[in-house]
């Protein structure tokens, strides 16, 4: 008997992609980073908990049949990882080579793990968002300090533009200066390209 597990990411592009896997037996085929195109990708996680005790007898929801065939799965337990109504992914356990009857306790344990993964993913999202906000705040503070220390308009606009391009990871930026006395527009390009 071989046990494997996977975490599948459900992208907006109707792709069912294996992002993480654990294989107790290294002879078990890897499906890591494998993408399975599906119809209605957003509906897959809405199927709820899927219990397949015998893949040769039970009907398999698509695209699970593809991953089951790829991993030679004989029994499958699959739980959606959700946050509120958003499906973040699917957590699955596979038995390969031996039929396994999933118990209520096993299903409950995997449901709890799926909930823990959901909480961890939300904390990660929040942390990344907060990091970005801190970066923006630091940049804005740096811009304000530089503006207060400079008197030359061209130097100020060049600095602000450079920081904006850097912060937004843009390839190019410019500031248009309107001269109403001459009815003209002058573009001040950024002085360097940010990679």
Residue 177's beta-bridge partner residues?
186
CA distances from 65 to 42, 73, 147 (A): 17, 9, 61
CA distances from 189 to 90, 103, 143 (A): 47, 66, 17
- Domain extents in the chain: 2-126, 150-195
pLDDT of amino acid 97:
84
Token duo for residue 149: 């220390």
Angle at 16 between CA 12 and CA 18, to 5 degrees: 120
Q: What is the pLDDT along the chain (195 residues), one digit of tens a residue?
A: 455 555 555 555 567 778 888 888 888 888 888 877 666 555 565 668 888 899 888 777 766 777 888 888 899 888 888 888 777 788 888 998 889 999 999 999 999 998 998 898 889 889 999 998 998 888 888 888 878 887 787 788 788 888 888 888 888 887 777 777 777 766 666 555 444
CATH of 2-126 among 3.40.50.300, 3.90.650.10, 3.40.50.1100, 3.30.450.40: 3.30.450.40
Q: What percent helix, strand, coil does the chain show, rounded to 5?
A: 40, 30, 30
pLDDT of amino acid 174:
78
pLDDT of amino acid 29:
84
How far is residue 111's CA from residue 90's CA, in Å, rounded to a whole number?
11
DSSP string computed for 115-170: HHHHHHHHHHHHHHHHHHHHHHHHHHHHHHHHHHH---HHHHHHHHHHHHHHHHT-
pLDDT of amino acid 19:
82
């Amino acid at each position: 008997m071989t046990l494997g597990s996977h975490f599948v990411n459900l992208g907006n592009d109707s792709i069912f992609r294996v992002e993480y896997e654990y294989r107790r037996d290294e002879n078990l085929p890897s499906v890591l980073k494998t993408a399975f195109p599906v119809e209605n990708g957003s509906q897959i996680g809405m199927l709820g908990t899927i219990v397949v005790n015998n893949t040769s007898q039970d009907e398999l929801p698509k695209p699970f049949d593809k991953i089951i065939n790829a991993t030679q799965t004989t029994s499958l337990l699959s739980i959606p990882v959700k946050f509120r109504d958003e499906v973040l992914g699917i957590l699955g356990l596979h038995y390969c080579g031996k039929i396994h009857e999933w118990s209520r306790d096993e299903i409950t344990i995997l449901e709890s793990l799926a909930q823990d993964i959901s909480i961890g993913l939300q904390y990660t999202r929040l942390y990344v968002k907060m990091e970005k906000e801190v970066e923006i705040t630091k940049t804005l503070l740096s811009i304000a300090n530089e503006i207060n220390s400079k008197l030359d308009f061209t130097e100020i606009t060049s600095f602000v533009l450079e920081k904006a391009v850097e912060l937004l990871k843009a390839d190019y930026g410019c500031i248009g200066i309107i001269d109403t006395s001459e009815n003209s527009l002058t573009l001040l390009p950024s002085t360097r390209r940010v990679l």
